[in-house]
A and B are shown apart, each in its own frame.
Chain A
């Protein structure tokens, strides 16, 4: 069966510090991968998605970036965090168009 992991679960970082959130998927090959942000328990905003290694599509202009160095690994990064980057970050995977997405447990990021 497939499993999706995210770490860390919780992170508190000062403004201006770098960020690296990691997501890995087990039990499937060549999944589509997604990063979402959820502010204040409301709707999810898609940040990035990837349909293959090295292929990243950005949905929202911001100071975040994403990379996919391996088939089942998806990393969300920032060089300098802003207060507005605080939120709940969710990683998800799917088999592509028409298939449901499966979500990881999320990372709660607080920028102070």
Chain B
């Protein structure tokens, strides 16, 4: 069974600095997708970034980028120029197996605090 592990329950960063959130996963599949979601205090789940496993190029969305290491099964999220609004829970998620309806397996989350 696939698993997703986020080893940092909590992290903090100063405003305008850079922070990296870690995620590792376990799978025997070769075709899969990885996601980072953000959950601010409102608890609304918001997609941050999406990565296709068959693409070697790391995904980037404005200040958010990933370091995807397929052989190591690692998928870390880098947030540059951190802003107060980045304060949230961040979840790493795995999607595999075409015949499983596109379901997501989530890690336990990393609570990020951005300090002024």
Contact = CB atoms under 8 A, between A and B. Distances in A.
Interface stretch (B14-22, B62-70, B99-107): B99-107
Contacts, number: 59
A57 interface: yes
Contacts of B95: 97-98
Contacts of A97: 95, 97-98, 100-102
Contact of A90 (B45, B47, B102, B108): B45
Interface in B38-66: 43-45, 47, 50, 52
B35 interface: yes
Contacts of A34: 103-104
Interface residues of B, number: 23
Contacts of B89: 41
B55 to A, nearest CB: 12
B91 interface: yes
Contact of B102 (A41, A88, A99): A99
Interface string A20-58: 000000000000101000000111111001110000010
B104 A46 contact: yes
A54 B74 CA distance: 37
A94 B102 contact: yes
Interface stretch (A11-19, A61-69, A73-81, A100-108): A100-108
Nearest to A103: B45
B44 A96 contact: no
Kindly name the residue among B43, B47, B89, B98 whose own CB sees the greatest number of chain A CB atoms within 10 A.
B43
A90 B43 CA distance: 10
Contacts of B98: 97
A32 B43 contact: no
A41 B10 CA distance: 13
Nearest to A51: B101
A98 B33 contact: yes
7 contacts: A32-B101, A42-B109, A43-B91, A49-B102, A59-B103, A97-B100, A103-B45
Interface of A: 32, 34, 41-46, 49-51, 57, 59, 88, 90, 92, 94-103, 105-106
